Amino acid sequence: YQASMEAAGIPLSFGGHRPLSRAQSSPASATFPMSVQEPPTKPRFTTGLVYDTLMLKHQCTCGNTNSHPEHAGRIQSIWS
């Protein structure tokens, strides 16, 4: 190592630190170390509901509320 560094003209005095060098990665392991697993938690399903009065100003640009069910009249009838 020292000879190849000196041959490349790289000084070896780094103040006590080794120079950085590239290393090859080892292949991925097919086995993973077993760790203690916590018991699975029971899923909690929740539903959120949001309403804003600006929804009542919602208009379809096509003008056909049959093809656009989220029109303001439908939203108003759901909330009333």
Residue 55 falls within a domain, yes or no?
Answer: yes
Question: 50-67 pLDDT, tens per residue?
Answer: 888 888 887 777 777 777
Range of 74's domain? 49-80
Residue 68 lies in a domain: yes
Q: What is the pTM of this model?
A: 0.32
The 10s digit of each residue's pLDDT in 70-79 is: 778 888 888 7
19 falls within a domain: no
| Counted domains in the chain | 1
Distances in Å between the Cα of 9 and the Cα atoms of 5, 12, 16, 38, 58 are: 6, 9, 19, 56, 73
